[in-house]
Amino acid sequence: MPRVLIVDDSLFMRKILGDILSREGAQVVGEADNGQSAVDKFRELKPDVVTLDIVMPKTGEIGGGIAALREIMKLDPKARVIMVSAMGQHALVVEAIQAGARDFIVKPFQQARIAQALKKVLLSGG
């Protein structure tokens, strides 16, 4: 059962994504609502997969999703990170993929697309 860390500033989206991931057989081992907390939880929990919201308000030392992604990749260059974006954030998604994200999913979520992304990143090695 893959262990997943969900990072999103929206409580609602963390719940929706957590429900979908659980239905897909994943175990949600932690949640974070900002970039700094995401890095701290990643270090502590060592999840198999991280879902990381691209746009989050800046709190603490680390700003939004891409800054958190860069920190996570420094901690573990083989980290499996799926970026979460809303429509229209193509440029940020490209930047995230270049920074090491394995895949991305777009809000509003579709369960089949999340399952596909989860399968893809787990098969891509770690």
Partner 1 sequence: MKNISFLKLDLLRELGSIGAGHAATSLSELANTQVDMSVPEIRLYPSQRIMDRLKDEEYFVLRSRLEGGISGMGYLVLSLGEARPLAGLLLGADPASVDMDGDMAQSALKEAANILLSSYMSALGDLTGFTVLADVPAMDGPINKNDVEKHISDAPADDIVYVKSNLTIKRLGFDAALLFVPDQKSLRAIFAKLGLPE
With CA atoms as reference, report the closest residue to 116 among 20, 36, 31.
20
Q: How far is the CB of 42 from partner 1 (least distance, A)?
A: 21
For partner 1, the closer CB: 77 or 88:
88
3-state secondary structure of 49: strand
Q: How far is the CB of 109 from partner 1 (least distance, A)?
A: 9
Q: How far is the CB of 75 from partner 1 (least distance, A)?
A: 25
Which strands make up the sheet holding 27-32, listed edge to edge? 27-32, 3-7, 49-53, 81-86, 103-107
User: Which residue ranges make up the site for partner 1 (CB under 8 A)?
Assistant: 9-13, 15, 55-57, 86-92, 107-108, 110
Cβ atoms within 10 Å, residue 79: 23
For partner 1, the closer CB: 13 or 122:
13
DSSP for residue 109? P
For partner 1, the closer CB: 2 or 63:
63
